[in-house]
Chain A
Amino acid sequence: MTPAWQRYAPALIFLLPALVGLAVFRLVPILWSFVLSFYDWQIFDQPSFTGLDNYIHILTSPVSGQVLLNTAVFGLIYVPGSIILSLILASVLNNALRSSAFFRSALFVPYITSTVAVTLAWKWIFSTRFGLLNNALAWIGIDAAPAWLADPTYALPAVAIVSIWKDVGFYMILLLAGLQTIDPTYYEAARIDGARVLRRFFRITVPLLSRSLFFVLIIAIVRSTQTFEITYALTEGGPNRSSTTLAYFVYENAFIHFQMGYAAALAYILCFVLGLLTLVNFYFRRRWVHE
C-alpha cells in the first residue's frame, strides 16, 4: 500500500489552481462582503461598525424601496416573457421541417454577441425622433409613441425588452435540448387518439419538458436580478432612477459613491432574495415537475 500523500498528491496538484481560485476569488470575497455589510465605510475613510444599520436603511429608505420595486417589475416582465417566448420558439423549431439550423442560429446570435454593442444599436432604435421603432410605429399609425429611454414609465420596460431579446435564444437552446429527448411515440399515440395541437402541447410537451422548464426558470430568475451591462449602456439607471435595478444600484453605491459597506449589504439582500426564490421554486417543484 502506497502512503496516503503519494496516492492523493496527483489530485491535489491537479486541483491546486482551482483551489487557489476558489479560496481567493470566491470564499474570501463572500465572507469579506458579509462582514463589510455591517460596516459604514466610505473607501477613503476608516470603517466603523454599525451593526444592522445598512440593512435597516435599505429596507426603510424610499430610494432603495423604488430600486427593489424596479427589480421586481423587471423580473415580472423578463422571467415570464423570456420563458413563454422561448418555449413557443423551441416548440415551433422542433416541429419545423427545414432550415431549422438557420433559424436556431438567427435566434441564438443575440445571446453570444457583444452586449454593449447590440445595446447601443437598440439605443439608436429607441431614439425618440429619429429611431427606427417610433418611425415604424408612426408608419402603422401610432403617433403618440413614447420617448422610451427618456420616459420614466418606459425606460425599465425598454431594458427588459432588450434583455428578453438577447436571452431568448439561450433559453430556446436549453428547451430544444429537452424537447429532443421526448419520445415521439407519445405524439403518435396522441394523434391516433385525435388530440389537437394545443392539447398535445399542454398535455405532452409541457409535462415532459418540465425538468428543462424548471432549470430555465431558475436561470431566468438569477439573470433577471443581475442585469447590469444592458442597463449601463441603455439608460444608466435613469431617468430619475426609474430603470435602476438592484445589481445596478450595487455598482452605483460601491463604485460611484464608494459606500462599500452599504453596497455589500445591498448585494447580500440580492443574494438573500435570490436564495429565497430558489427555495420557493424547489418547494413547488414536485407540484409540477415530472421526474
Chain B
Amino acid sequence: MNRRVSAPGALAVLYGFLIAYAALSLMPFAWMLITSFKEQSALFQLPPSFRPSLLFSDTPFENYSVIWNERNFVTFFRNSAFVSFMAAIGQVFTCALAGYAFARLPLPGKNIIFAIILATAFVPTEVTIIPEFLLMRGFGWLDTFLPLIVPSFLVGAFGTFMLREYFASLPNDYAEAARMDGAREFRIFWRIYLPLAQPALISVFVIAFINNWDELLRPLLYLTSPELYTVPLGLLSFVSQYEAAWGQLMAGSVISTLPLIIIYVLTQRYVLAGFSGGGVKG
C-alpha cells in the first residue's frame, strides 16, 4: 500500500514503540495470571518473582478452587451471566424494533423522537441514577435482578442508532413484494429484515453483554444479599474481607476477565464494527 513508511530506520522505531506499548497494555493481565498461580507466602517476596509457583506444586489451581467454591464465585459468575444475558437480549429486542421503526415505518415526528433518544443518552448517569434508585425502591425491586435488567432492556440509544442505520441500508424491494402478498408489518420485519440484520444484532448483543458484565454502580446500589452479587461486586467484597489474599483475588479477576476476552476473540469482527462504526461516519 502507498501510505506505508518505507525507511527501515523509521520502521524500527515505529515497531519498537508499538511492541513496547502492547507489552504495557498486556502487562496487568500477565501479572494477574502469574499472581493467581502463587501461594500466599510467594506473594511478598522481594524482589517479586515471575514464577507462577503453584503450577509446580500438587495443587496448581488452589486459588481458583478456593475462590470458586469457598468464596462462592460460582454463584457470582452464574448471576453475572444471567443478568448480562437477559439485559443484552432485551436490548437487542428493543433496539431492533425501534431501529426498524425509525428506519422503515411511517410515523410523523419519528425523527424528533429519535433525536430525543440520542440527546438523552448524553445526559450523565449521575443525573439519572438517583431518581432511578428511588423508582426501583418504589417498585419494590431492591435486592432483585430486575433493576440490573429492565433499564438495559428498554434503553439503548447506541443500539437503536446502529440498527436504524443498518435497517436503512437494506433495500426496500423485499418489503414491497411482501406487502403486495398481504404480509403484516411484523411478519415482514421478523421473517425478512431481522435475519438480514444479523451482523448488527450480534454487535449490539455482544457490546451490551460486555457492558452489563462490567457494570458496578447498579449492582452496588441495588444488591444487598451476597447470594445475588455479580462478579465485580463479589471481587470488591472479597477485597474488603481478605485484603492481602492477592493470589485468590487475582484468580477471581481472571475468572471475571476471561469470559469477556473469549467473547471478544470469537466475535472480534462484530465488536470492532460496532465500536468504530457506531460513532464515526467518515
Taking CB atoms and an 8 Å cut-off, the chain B residues in 244-265 that contact chain A are 246, 249-250, 252-254, 256-257, 260-261, 264-265
- B124: chain A residues at CB < 8 Å are 222, 225-226, 247, 267, 270-271, 274
Question: How far in angstroms is the closest Cβ of chain A from B131?
Answer: 4
Interface of B is mostly: helix
Q: A114-B256, A173-B275, A184-B2 are in contact. Are A271 and B123 (CB under 8 A)?
A: yes
The answer to whether A185 and B2 have CB atoms under 8 Å apart is yes
Q: A33-B131, A116-B256, A215-B279 are in contact. Are A8 and B17 (CB under 8 A)?
A: no
- B2: chain A residues at CB < 8 Å are 184-185, 187-188
The answer to whether B28 and A29 have CB atoms under 8 Å apart is no
Q: Does A115 contact B (CB under 8 A)?
A: yes
Q: Does B242 contact A (CB under 8 A)?
A: no
- B3: chain A residues at CB < 8 Å are 94-95, 182, 184, 187-188
- A29: chain B residues at CB < 8 Å are 127-132, 135
User: CA separation between A92 and B14, bound complex, in Å?
Assistant: 6
User: CA separation between A255 and B217, bound complex, in Å?
Assistant: 10
CB nearest neighbor in A for B259: A114
User: CA separation between A106 and B257, bound complex, in Å?
Assistant: 14
The answer to whether B272 and A30 have CB atoms under 8 Å apart is no
Q: Does A279 contact B (CB under 8 A)?
A: no
User: CA separation between A29 and B131, bound complex, in Å?
Assistant: 5
Question: How far in angstroms is the closest Cβ of chain A from B98?
Answer: 4
- B31: chain A residues at CB < 8 Å are 121, 124-125, 132
Query: Which single member of A15, A177, A185, A228 contacts B276 (CB below 8 Å)?
Result: A177
- B140: chain A residues at CB < 8 Å are none
A8-27 to B contact mask, C-beta < 8 Å, 1/0: 10111111111111101111
Interface locus among A59-67, A145-153, A258-266 = A258-266
The answer to whether A212 and B110 have CB atoms under 8 Å apart is no
Name which of A110, A169, A215 has the most chain B CB atoms within 10 A of its CB: A110
Question: How far in angstroms is the closest Cβ of chain A from B90?
Answer: 8
The answer to whether B128 and A25 have CB atoms under 8 Å apart is yes
User: CA separation between A173 and B268, bound complex, in Å?
Assistant: 12
Question: How far in angstroms is the closest Cβ of chain B from A132?
Answer: 6
Count class of interface residues, chain A = 35 or more
The answer to whether A170 and B275 have CB atoms under 8 Å apart is yes
The answer to whether B106 and A8 have CB atoms under 8 Å apart is yes
- B21: chain A residues at CB < 8 Å are 85, 89, 107
Q: Does B192 contact A (CB under 8 A)?
A: no
The answer to whether A181 and B276 have CB atoms under 8 Å apart is no
The answer to whether B154 and A121 have CB atoms under 8 Å apart is no
The answer to whether B43 and A268 have CB atoms under 8 Å apart is no
Question: How far in angstroms is the closest Cβ of chain B from A49?
Answer: 17
Q: Does A143 contact B (CB under 8 A)?
A: no
Query: Which single member of B110, B125, B256 contacts A117 (CB below 8 Å)?
Result: B256
The answer to whether B97 and A17 have CB atoms under 8 Å apart is yes
User: CA separation between A99 and B279, bound complex, in Å?
Assistant: 26
The answer to whether A121 and B130 have CB atoms under 8 Å apart is no
Q: A96-B18, A188-B2 are in contact. Are A113 and B261 (CB under 8 A)?
A: yes
Question: How far in angstroms is the closest Cβ of chain B from A214?
Answer: 10
Q: Does A284 contact B (CB under 8 A)?
A: no
Interface locus among B54-62, B64-72, B197-205, B208-216 = B208-216
The 8 A-B pairs at the shortest CB distance, nearest first, are namely: A21-B154, A29-B131, A117-B253, A11-B107, A14-B101, A18-B98, A32-B131, A11-B105
Sampled A-B contacts (11; CB under 8 Å): A17-B154, A18-B94, A22-B117, A36-B130, A96-B18, A118-B257, A132-B31, A170-B275, A219-B279, A232-B236, A254-B129
Using a CB–CB distance below 8 Å, which chain B residues touch chain A? 1-5, 10-11, 14-15, 17-18, 21-22, 24-26, 28-29, 31-32, 35, 43-48, 93-95, 97-98, 100-102, 105-108, 110, 113, 116-117, 120, 122-135, 151, 153-156, 160, 185-186, 189, 210, 213-214, 216-217, 220-221, 231-232, 235-236, 239, 246, 249-250, 252-254, 256-257, 260-261, 264-265, 268, 271-272, 275-277, 279-280, 282
Known: A176-B276, A226-B124. 5 other contacts (CB 8 A): A11-B101, A29-B130, A96-B14, A130-B44, A188-B2
